[in-house]
Each structure stands twice: as structure tokens, then as C-alpha cells.
Structure 1
Amino acid sequence: MRSPHTASVLPPPATSFALVVAVLAVSSSAPLIAFAAAPALAVAFWRNGLAAVVLTPVALLTRRTEVRGVLRRREGFLCVLAGLTLAAHFATWMPSVQLGSVATATALVATQPVWQGLIAAAQGRRPSTAGWIGITLAVAGAAWATGADLGVSTQAVFADILALLGAMAAAVYTALGERARATLSTTTYTWICYGTCAIVLLAVCLAGGVQLRGYDGQTWAAILAIVAGAQLLGHSMFNYALQHTSATTVSVLILLEVPGAALLAWAWLGQTPRWESLPGLALLLLGVVVVIVGAARSSRVLPSPADASLAP
């Protein structure tokens, strides 16, 4: 288990493998959401609700003692908070994709590492110069690759604000997960987090009259694929990695979803990438490399989570 007092360098092989699997899995999310003929909030509810159902027997059979104990400890509160911020992320970013431009929404949510770096700085863990350079390059590359173009209509501006709020919520969610995962297993953390998120999204869907059933077979197949891939493999593997590497590094690696989703959309949905976006993809990858190399060279001692304050 990673000590919260020591900065991580290059992640161990198991963590590196988990991060590769996670990036590949979350890359399937956007194409599947585009394919599914269901409201974005409904898809968000089902992906978390079904994931929590799948994890329930595993959590209760293999982590019963930990589950009982965590609900009375500070880590349990962090898990619930993480679930609330995950719900906020899904409830803002996913509708922004439908209300405005997919390219703009993707670029704005890709600002997550910026907010992650600010949170780390507020916790007394200021990113290195290389880290800030890498973050800047990666976010700029994501914006270039997705062809971000801020809309001028009221609906487009509202969609842009939702996407930006989604990036902030994702950063807080990842930071909370880093704190909780210092002592909790992946199973216990994700079960409580996904369950909380599903309950919140269900309440939002019911209050807003969002259709939760009556979809065709292809839509249900897409939702199940999102649950198995983006949720159980993607988010869960990122949560596992948070025990061995920093939230800032993880948030930058999540940017690899941009080229991954573009390639899947090209191969599956026939959405040919624009050639002018390729330099942006290269810039994004360069930024990720800079962040990872910067983290590998850093050996700074970090403050204990008990002494650090989270500034969401």
C-alpha cells in the first residue's frame, strides 16, 4: 500500500497495466453514448447503478469487515463525497455533449488536469515545473485535437459551462478518491462511490422526468458495454491506480481518452478524424510524457492527508 507521505515515481508494472486498461476502456464511453438512443442522464444512472449491483456481492462477501468499519470512519465520508462529485461530473458533462458541440465539450472537460493541479497546490503538493508544462501541453493538445470552437448561442454557451463544471467535478472526484484509496480497497471504495452516485442520479432523473426504460435492444447493449468497459474496467482501474500514483498524473492520463475515442469513432461509427487535428493529438501525447517523466524525477515528500485540506 502506498504511503500517503511519499510522492510516487513511475508506477509499478501492475499499476501501469491497470492504467493502460483504464484508458482503453474509457475511450469506448463517448462512442457508445453517441450510439445509445437514451438520455445522457439515464445512461449515467444505469452505468453507475448496474456497476454497483455487480460489485455488491463481491463487496459483501470479500470485504464485509472493511465495509462495516468504513461506514463509521472518515474514509466512508470521503467515499460518499466522491460519489456525489462523480454524479455532478456525469450530470454536467454528459448533457453538455447533447446540448452543444461534442468537440467543445470534450475540450473543456479536458481541462481537468488544470483543476487537479490547483487542488494539489492547495493541499501543499505543488506540481513541478515539468508537471505544469506537461499539463499545459496536454490540455492545449486536447483542445486542438477536438477542434474546440466555443458556441455563440445561449444553448451552446450553457453547454460549455456544463462541460467546464464537469471538468471541475471530475478533478474533485479524483482528488477525493486519492485520499480514500490510501487506506481502502478498490472494491469497497468503488462500491460505495458508484452506489452513492447512482442514488443521486436516480433522484435527478425522477425529478426531471427522464425516461429510464423502454429502450431498444441495441441501446441496452450499448449501456451494458459502458458498464462493463468504461465503468467497471475504466473508472475502477483508475481508482485502483490512485493507490500507487498521484491524482494529477491520473487526470492527465485520462486525456488519452480523446485520441482513443476518436479512433474508435472512426473505426466503428465512420467519423473520420480531421487531419488538422493530428498535430493536437501529438501535442497531447507529448504533454502526457512530460508529466510522467516529471513525476518520475520528483522525489518530494508529501504532507499527510490528515494535515492537508481539500479545496474543491
Structure 2
Amino acid sequence: MTVLLLAVAILGVSASGPLMAATTAPALAIAFWRNAAATVLLAPTALTRGRGELTTQSRRRWLLVAFAGVMLAAHFATWISSLKLTSVAAAIALVSMQVLWVVLIDVVRGVRPGLAVVAGCALAIGGVFVITGVDLSLSRDALIGDGLALAGGLFAALYVVAGARARETLGTTTYTFLVYGVCGVTLLAVCLIGGVPLGGFAARDWALIAAVTVCAQFLGHSVINHLLAVMTPVVISLALLLEVPVGAMLAAIFLGEALPWATYGGLVLILAGLAVVTLARGRRQPTETLVGD
């Protein structure tokens, strides 16, 4: 049953990239609606079972939650935007570089990485150069999309680091409700200030946004949160790396996305590097799981 649930989670997060790439609605609108819907659906449970947690948090804990929510909003905004400019496979692979950003954040905080971590980082970065080099030869938009995906990985890393601290005194449902709420409010403000339309979309786009919410937010995020109680974070993080090839396969099947062979080589390098880093960090400390998109 556990393996089946893990397979469902991988398929859920893998489907989000192709689904959002197929949606003609603005990237910020997609990000807002998926978080707003998830917040509303989580509210009844969070506001009843988590009422005690909500009234006992310190000011510092609330600031951590707020920061995590804003970083999650920045992650969604940049990554979903990247899907409109570069290939789904490249966007998923480059946003998965959040593991390397977490390593860099640790270095800034004074934590020295081991040799295996450095070697894994070098492999993954080599893969990034291969993909971005190919995309540079294709179009300027594709290269911009690659940059947005990498930025999405950085914001995801900041979200994970801040969220790990915030969750020390918050349950999964309560924290998820709060961080999605902050994320949704942040995206709403950006949309209103920037004049991004939040409605008037075709029925097909609304259906795709609903599908993204179900696949990524619930079948992806929620199932992963459940599995953390019965599986190690390292195993889950390694399994979630399958989002890269599965997402690429779904994009090829449903969007007809064909990639240069060099891009596949870059994907392999990134996957190999991230796997090495995840395993090495797992031997030394609990590993933060990847953000399921």
C-alpha cells in the first residue's frame, strides 16, 4: 500500500508541469487559484483541530510562516512562468535543483559539505550547463525560462528551510493551511497590483487548474506529507526525482514535446547529481524533501 501511495504522489506532482503548460491562463493566476482552493479546502480541519496551535505561536514563528508563504508564492510564480517559455522537462529538472540551493544555504550558515555532496553538485551543475546551452541555441525565451526555473528552485529551497523551523511547533495540516494561505494572499496582491486577470478563462482552462490542484496539492503534497510518517525523507526525496523523467514523458505524450538529444543528457546528469547529494546528506542529517509541484 505504501509503494502504491508513493506512485500516486509521483504521478500527481509529475502531472502538474504538463497540465500547467497546457493552460492558457496567466501563470500568476494559475498559482493563485491552486493555492486559494487548497486553503479553502483545508480551512475546516485546520481551524478546528489546529485551533490550539494557532493561539500559542510566538511572533518569531509567525514570521517564519509568513516568510515561507512568500517564498512559496515566489516559487510558484517563477516556476509556472518558466513552463510557458521553456520545455516542461527542462523546467522540472532545473526547479529540482532546490536540493543544491539548500546545500548552498547551509554553506552560508557555516556547514561544510562533504566530498560526495560537492561531486554531486558538480554533476548536476554540469547538467544545467548542457540544458541551458542547448536552449540558448534554440531561443532567448527558452533560456529565460531556464533562468526562471532555477530561481524557482532557489525560492523552493528558502521555503523548505524556513518551513522546517516553522513546523517545529505546528502540525502538518495547520502549517499547510497557513503557508498556502499566505502564499495565496501574496499572489492575489501581486495579481491585483500587476493587473493580472483572475477570471474570464475558458472552461478548459478552469478544468486544467482544477486538475492541477487535485494532482499536485492533494495527490502530491498531501500524500507525501502522509508518507513522511512511514518512510524516511531520503527515500521520498530520491523517489520524487522521478518527477523529472515522468514529467518529461507525460509532456511528450500529451503535449507532443520533442527535445534535442543533448537535453536528455543534461537531465541524466542532473538526476545523477541530485541523487548523490540526497544520499550523502541523508547519511549526515535528515534530508528536506523536494517541493512537489
Report the TM-score when normalising by structure 2.
0.80
Give 1:29's match in structure 2, choosing from 7, 11, 16: 16
Which residue of 159, 164, 171 maps to 1:185? Answer: 171
Give the distance between the partners of 1:138 and 1:251, measured in 2 at CA.
16
Shift of 1:215: 1.9
Percent identity for Structure 1 against Structure 2: 47
Structure 1 residues 228 and 60: alpha-carbon distance in aligned structure 2, compared to 1, 3 A threshold: same
RMSD over aligned Cα atoms: 3.6
Label 1:231 to 1:147 Cα distance change in 2 as closer, same or farther (>3 A): farther
2:234 corresponds to 1:234: no
How do residues 83-232 of structure 1 correspond to structure 2 at under 5 angstroms?
83-99=69-85, 105-106=91-92, 108-141=94-127, 144=130, 148-150=134-136, 159-232=145-218
Deviates more, 1:54-63 or 1:178-187: 178-187
1:104 touches 1:150 (CA, 8 Å); kept in 2?
A: no
Q: SS of the counterpart of 2:24?
A: coil
Distance 2:12 2:129 in 1: 21
Alignment CA distance shift 1:232-1:69 (3 Å): farther
CA distance in 2, matches of 1:241, 1:128: 28
What is the match of residue 283 of structure 1? 269
Shift of 1:218: 2.0
Q: Deviations over 1:282-312 (max 9, x none)?
A: 43443344234324543x699xxxxxxxxxx
Residue 17 of structure 2 contacts residue 92 of structure 2 at CA under 8 Å; is this kept in 1?
no
Q: Which amino acid aligns with 1:88?
A: A
- Output the amino acid matched with 1:200: T
Instruction: Tell me how far apart the structure 1 counterparts of residues 6 and 110 of structure 2 sit (CA, whole Å).
Output: 25
Which is helix-richer, 1 or 2? Answer: 2
SS class of match (1:26): helix
* Contact 1:47 1:227 survives alignment (8 Å): yes
Contact 2:93-2:267 at 8 Å conserved across structures: no
* 1:227–1:297 distance in 2 versus 1, CA, 3 Å: same
Residue 51 (structure 1) aligned with residue 51 (structure 2):
no
1:263 equivalent in alignment to 2:215: no
**Structure 2: gaps of 5 or more residues:** 288-293
Write the distance in 1 (CA, Å) between the matches of 2:53 and 2:88.
Answer: 41
Secondary structure of the residue that 1:150 maps to in structure 2? helix
8 A Cα contact 1:138 1:252, kept in partner? no
Task: Return 5+ residue gaps in structure 1 as ranges.
Answer: 1-12, 303-312
Q: CA deviation at 1:155?
A: 5.9
CA shift for structure 1 position 55 = 0.5
Tell me if the contact between 2:18 and 2:255 (Cα under 8 Å) persists in the aligned partners. yes
Normalising by structure 1, we get a TM-score of: 0.75
Mapped partners of 1:301, 1:138: distance in 2:
21
CA distance in 2, matches of 1:84, 1:53: 18
